[in-house]
Amino acid sequence: MPNFRSKKWLIVGLMMVFLAVTLVGCSSQDADIPGNEGQQSAEPVTLLVSAAASLTDAMADIEKAYQEEHSNVSFDFNLGSSGSLQQQIEQGAPADVFISAAKGKMDPLEEKDLIVKETRKDVVKNTLVLVVGKDNDTIKSFEDLEKARVIAMGEPDSVPAGKYASETLTNLNLLDKLKDKMVYAKDVRQVLAYVESGDAEAGLVYQTDANISDKVKVAAVADGSLHSPLVYPVAVIKDTENQEEAKAFVDFLSSEKAAVIFEKHGFTMVK
C-alpha cells in the first residue's frame, strides 16, 4: 500500500527548497540593479580633511550636506593656515584631502608627488578686504591705514591672506610706510580676532571672514589686480587609505549642492 504520508512530506520539502532558491536568486538580482547599491550597508569611513581656516564655517555645512547622501562617512577637520597644513603634509602628517587658500601652497605638494594629480581642481574664489571695528570712522580706505596705530595681517610666508595683503599693500606703495605698525597672525581668523578685540585698528582678511562677524565692518575691498589670483585648490593626498571616498568628496565640492553652501558663505565658484 502506498505511503501517502511520506510522499506528502517529500513534496513539501521540495517546495521549500525551490522557494529558498528563488528568494536567494531574487536578492542577488536586486543587488545587481543599478541604484540599489546605496541600499546595502557600507563600511564606516572617517575622512581627515586639512583645510584653510577661512573655510571653517563653510566646511561645517558641507559636512552636514555630504552626510545626508553618505551616512557612512564622518569627518575630522584640521583647520589652519594653508602654509602650516602644507608643511604638515610634507612631514608625513596623515590627511586624506587638502583644501588650500592658495595655489602656491598646493604646488609644492604636487611637485613632490604627494597628491593624486588628476584629482586636483580649483573649487572656489574669495575676495580680500580691509576691516575695521564697527565704530571706526577714521579708516575708510587703504590709504587711511597711515592713520592707524596697529594693523593686523597674516604672516605672508605661511598664510595666503597675508601674502595677498602684502602684495596689495606693495602695489599701493604702502607696505614700507606701514611695516612698523604691523602685527602678524598665524591665520586669517586670528587677524579677524585682533580687530574684533580692538588689539588692532584694522586688518586684512577675506570677505567670507568679514561676513561672520558683527564686530567689524568692511572699509575697503582690494581690487583683484593688486594681488595673485585668490583661488582655493583641492586634491586627494596620495598616501590616503581612503582614496575612493576621498575622490568622491572632492567631486562633491564642485557639485550644485556644494555651490549653494559656498555661495551662502560668500565664496564664488570657479567655473
Report the pLDDT value the prediction gives residue 29, as an integer from 0 to 100: 45
pLDDT at residue 2 tops 50: no
- In angstroms, the CA 106 to CA 265 distance is 23
Helix (H) or strand (E) holding 68: helix 56-69
Q: At what angle do helices 160-171 and 103-111 cross, to 10 degrees?
A: 120
pLDDT at residue 194 tops 60: yes
- In angstroms, the CA 52 to CA 233 distance is 10
What is the set of domains in the chain, with CATH numbers? 42-125+231-269 (3.40.190.10), 128-226 (3.40.190.10)
pLDDT at residue 113 tops 80: yes
Phi and psi at residue 26, to the nearest 5°: -65, -45
How do residues 197-253 score in pLDDT, each as one tens digit? 999 999 999 999 999 999 999 999 999 999 999 999 999 999 999 999 999 999 999
Question: What is the number of residues in the chain?
Answer: 271
Is the full-model pTM beyond 0.75? yes
3-state secondary structure of 48: strand
pLDDT at residue 71 tops 50: yes
pLDDT at residue 61 tops 70: yes
pLDDT at residue 24 tops 90: no
Reported confidence tier of residue 271, pLDDT bands at 50, 70, 90: confident
> How buried is 33 (Cβ within 10 angstroms: 0-12 exposed, 13-18 middle, 19+ buried)?
exposed
Q: Considering just the CA atoms, what is the radius of gyration of the chain in Å?
A: 27
CB 127 within 8 A of CB 258: no
pLDDT at residue 79 tops 90: yes
pLDDT at residue 163 tops 90: yes
pLDDT at residue 26 tops 80: no
CA atoms within a 13 Å half-sphere pointing along the CA-CB vector of 216: 32
Structure-derived torsion over alpha carbons of residues 47, 49, 54, 59, reported in degrees to the nearest 10:
-10
